[in-house]
Amino acid sequence: MDKLKPQDWIPLIKPYAKPNTLRSLRQVADTLLPLLLLFFLAHKALSLSLLLTLALDMVAALFLVRLFILQHDAGHGSFFPKRWMNDLLGFFTGVLTLVPYHHWQLSHARHHATSGNLDKRGVGDIYTMTLEEYLKATPWERFKYRVYRNPFIMFFIGPIYVFMLSYRLPLGYGSEKPSVRNSVALTNLFLALLLAGIVLLFGVKTLLWVYLPIQYLAGMVGIFLFYVQHQFEDAYWEHDPRWEHLKAAMEGSTYLKLPKVLQWLTGNIGFHHIHHLAPKIPNYHLPKVQEEVDLVKVAPTVTLKDAFQIAFADLHLHDEATRKLVGFREAHRRLRQKAARA
């Protein structure tokens, strides 16, 4: 891999970067229609059992995750051959997923361009400090970072903050652009109309026990998937100018090998290494690339069990000396050693 140049590997994957309009439309149908049906069934189940309602919410949340993957493909221009088709789908699915399409699209493109780059962290990613940065930080800065990286905060509070609060405001990367601000405002307008429609047609109880839990659970799954596909012990990190796109994809992203049902429900996002290598490949072609292109088989494979271990492991700081993620225990051990020598 060290010797491969773009002209060596791009021809291997380029044939797969062609969307099929009929197949894409079929994905929209087999995702959106079950989602709407599950929402209606969960609404009806409120009169029978709250537990049954929440169970249906969980299944619906997985379909909402799948819908986001379609929005995600549209954001890369890989779902339909025409830009306007991608943008139309992206905007309206963004209302359903709470993710303002153009705002997210801009920061996510930055994530792809800088993933694993130590000099360009902090946009569209889960921020990772280096061990040296943490050791030099003030106690308050270290405390804030520990809170941010705490699994409870990340996976249980994160969905509320990210999807329900922060995406309602045109903040952060690209917020000065009128297209981003307009995207957020228009998404919020359509979202307000959607919420009003749910209350009028189904009632406040459905909003509280069906709509909001579906959004919350989908957000939790989404953050979990994104986290475990980049935050593993041997994840690739490098400074400019040594940073390489191919290595960032193959060594900085995992192949999350999920059971077939979950692979389908998550829109093949487990083939994350391939997606980072070539984001123009539609999600439905990713399994074929994994099967047919030897180049992508070097990426670290992670099972669902491994993913849960990664999510709750003490791996939060990149140690540039060992080129591995280490934990707060190691950092605090070094801080104690430093204090003892002082």
- Least-confidence region, from 53-57, 59-63, 152-156, 170-174: 170-174
Instruction: Say what the pLDDT of residue 174 is.
Output: 85
Nearest-angstrom CA–CA distance, 197 and 276? 38
Instruction: Say what the pLDDT of residue 4 is.
Output: 64
| Confidence check: pLDDT of 1 > 60 | no
CA distances from residue 299 to 134, 229, 232, 239, 295 in whole angstroms, order as listed: 29, 11, 12, 20, 9
Beta strands in the chain (DSSP E): 129-130, 255-257, 301-303, 317-319, 324-326
Here the tokens at position 241 are 């100018």
Q: Match 């993913």 to its residue by tokens.
A: 307
- Least-confidence region, from 6-10, 93-97, 217-221, 312-316: 6-10
| Confidence check: pLDDT of 34 > 70 | yes
Cβ(71)–Cβ(283) under 8 Å? no
Number of helical (H) and strand (E) elements in the chain, helices listed first: 18, 5
Instruction: Say what the pLDDT of residue 5 is.
Output: 67
Number of C-beta neighbours around residue 242 at 10 A: 9
Q: What are φ and ψ of residue 324, in 5° steps?
A: -135, 160
Confidence of residue 7 (pLDDT cuts 50, 70, 90): low
Confidence of residue 283 (pLDDT cuts 50, 70, 90): very high
Cβ(118)–Cβ(237) under 8 Å? yes
| Confidence check: pLDDT of 50 > 90 | yes
Instruction: Say what the pLDDT of residue 3 is.
Output: 62
Taking only the tens place, the pLDDT of each residue in 95-137 is 999 999 999 999 999 999 999 999 999 898 999 999 999 999 9
Mean pLDDT of 324-341: 89
Q: Match 């909001």 to its residue by tokens.
A: 212
Q: What is the average pLDDT score of the chain? A: 94
Taking only the tens place, the pLDDT of each residue in 80-93 is 999 999 999 999 99
pTM of the model: 0.94
Mean pLDDT of 130-153: 96
Instruction: Say what the pLDDT of residue 172 is.
Output: 84
Nearest-angstrom CA–CA distance, 74 and 79? 5
Mean pLDDT of 53-79: 98
Instruction: Say what the pLDDT of residue 246 is.
Output: 93
Q: What are φ and ψ of residue 320, in 5° steps?
A: -70, -20
Nearest-angstrom CA–CA distance, 213 and 205? 12
Taking only the tens place, the pLDDT of each residue in 160-198 is 999 999 999 988 888 888 988 999 999 999 999 999 999
Nearest-angstrom CA–CA distance, 45 and 198? 16
